[in-house]
Amino acid sequence: MNKNNAKIVEDYANIKGRSLWVDARRRLFQNKAAVVSLILLFFIAFLSFFGPFFLKFSFSDTDWNSIYYPPSLNNGHFLGTDGNGRDLLVRILYGGRLSLSIGVLATLVSVFIGVIYGTIAGFFGGKLDIFMMRVVEILYAMPYLIFVIILMVVFGRNIYFLFIAIGAVEWLTMARIVRGQTISLKEKEFIETSKALGQSNFMIIWKHIIPNLAGPIIVYITLMVPSVIILESFLSFLGLGVQEPLTSWGVLISEGSREMETAWWLLIFPGLFMTITLASLNFIGDGLRDAIDPKEY
């Protein structure tokens, strides 16, 4: 009898969830800016991961006959070359792979840490919550770049460590949001019902709270990825992030800004790719936020 009731409660929570998604999806697709951004983003991601297979240059091919070539359609260097004769377009695409991957992976790391931290703080409340949020407040106020730089300095510039360092700094926002949502969810009746039916705390968190967090989490993922990409680019720009022979947009922009007087394309094109990606992510995030929680204006 108990198990049956538990299932009914669960199904109820799930049904409510489903209609919310259908509604949200409809609203999202009505938002023109978001749709255009989705297409652009997908295009850039596709290009970055599959594009290089179609281009005749590899990203480390040096062509000493065509160094500092401006963009042209003739010789196949569509976006020009750099000081080593390397094709810019290919390097931008490879850079895209790295920047986008770091963006997504580091964000996932911070989501993972943030969700666990936030649900525990929000669900169990009391002194534990106060203490945990105190720590978050303290860390939140610190200039994150400095922290990351210190971590990189101390532990070396390993690319895997880059993920961890960035994730370790970005989880704070997620933790705050998750905690807030958990607290408001905790008050809702279906949680009380589950408790009354004897579900363990862990099951409640796993089956009821986390699925309902999906909405805000997705919104904030789309808003966090750009800031992670920017963080990685900052580091690479300063020479502390991605190292040769790997390249990212940050590295390309850094090189480009040094050569911009003679080869403007080395700055403009990577900058353009980065800006479009960031803008698209922002619009998609805004669109998702409006779709899930519309406000009248």
Partner 1 sequence: MRITMIKFITKRILIAIPTLLIIVAFSFFMMRIAPGGPFTNERALPPEIENNIKAAYNLDKPVYEQFYIYIKNLTKGDFGPSFKYKDFSVKELILNGLPVSVTLGLSSIVISLFIGSILGIIAAINRNTVFDYSVMGISLLGICVPSFVMAPLLSLFFSLYLGILPTSGWNNGNIMNLILPITALSLPQIAVISRMMRASTIEVLNSNFIRTAKSKGLNSSYIIRRHVIRASILPIIEYLAPASAGLMTGSIIIEQIFGLPGIGRYFVVGALQRDYTLVSGVLILYASLLIFLILITDIIRAILDPRIKI
Please report, as a single letter, which amino acid is at residue 152.
M
Among 256, 263, 284, 288, binds partner 1 (CB under 8 A): 256
CB nearer to partner 1: give 15 or 142: 142
The distance of closest approach from Cβ of residue 181 to partner 1 in the complex, given in angstroms and rounded to an integer, is 20
Angle (nearest 5°) at CA 144 between 115 and 160: 70
- CB 247, CB 159: distance < 8 Å: no
Q: Binding pattern to partner 1, positions 278-297, x when CB under 8 A?
A: xx--x--------------x
Question: Which of 124, 147, 161, 190 is in the footprint of partner 1 by CB under 8 A?
Answer: 147
CB 266 within 8 A of CB 259: yes
Bridge partners of 273, per DSSP, are: none
Which residue from 8, 238, 293, 294 is in contact with partner 1, where contact means CB under 8 A? Answer: 238
* The one among 150, 196, 203, 214 contacting partner 1 by CB under 8 A: 150
Among positions 1, 2, 54, 143, the unique one binding partner 1 when judged by CB under 8 A = 143
Q: Are 59 and 90 in contact (CB under 8 A)?
A: yes
Applying the rule CB under 8 A, the residues between 151 and 180 that interact with partner 1 are 152-156
The answer to whether 248 and 99 have CB atoms below 8 angstroms apart is: yes
Region of 85-93, 102-110, 178-186, 263-271 interacting with partner 1 (CB under 8 A): 263-271
- Determine the Cα angle at 195 with ends 191 and 198, to 5°: 145
Task: Decide: is 233 part of the binding site for partner 1 (CB under 8 A).
Answer: yes
Pick from 15, 130, 146, 214 the residue near partner 1 by CB under 8 A: 146
Shortest distance, position 139 Cβ to partner 1, whole Å: 9
Residue 139 burial (CB count, 10 A): 15
Describe the crossing of helices 265-292 and 249-258 by its angle, rounded to 10 degrees.
140
* Residue 274 vs 291, nearer CB to partner 1: 274
Smallest distance from partner 1 to CB 198, Å: 40
Long-range contacts (CB closer than 8 Å, 24 or more residues apart) made by 252-257: 252/88, 252/91, 252/92, 252/95, 255/82
Long-range CB pairs of 201-205, under 8 A, 24+ apart, other chains included:
201/123, 204/123, 205/119, 205/123
Give the ranges where the chain is alpha helix by DSSP (H).
2-30, 32-50, 88-124, 126-140, 144-155, 159-186, 189-196, 201-204, 210-238, 249-258, 265-292
Least separation in angstroms between residue 281's CB and partner 1 is 9
- Here's the x/- map for partner 1, 102-141, by CB under 8 A: it reads as ------------------------------------x--x
Q: Which of 59, 144, 163, 265 binds partner 1 (CB under 8 A)?
A: 144
Helix (H, G, I), strand (E, B) or coil at 87: strand
- How near is the Cβ of 15 to partner 1 at its closest, in Å? 33
Which residues contact partner 1 (rule: CB under 8 A)?
138, 141-147, 149-150, 152-156, 226, 230, 233-234, 237-240, 250, 253-254, 256-257, 260-261, 264, 267, 271, 274-275, 278-279, 282, 297
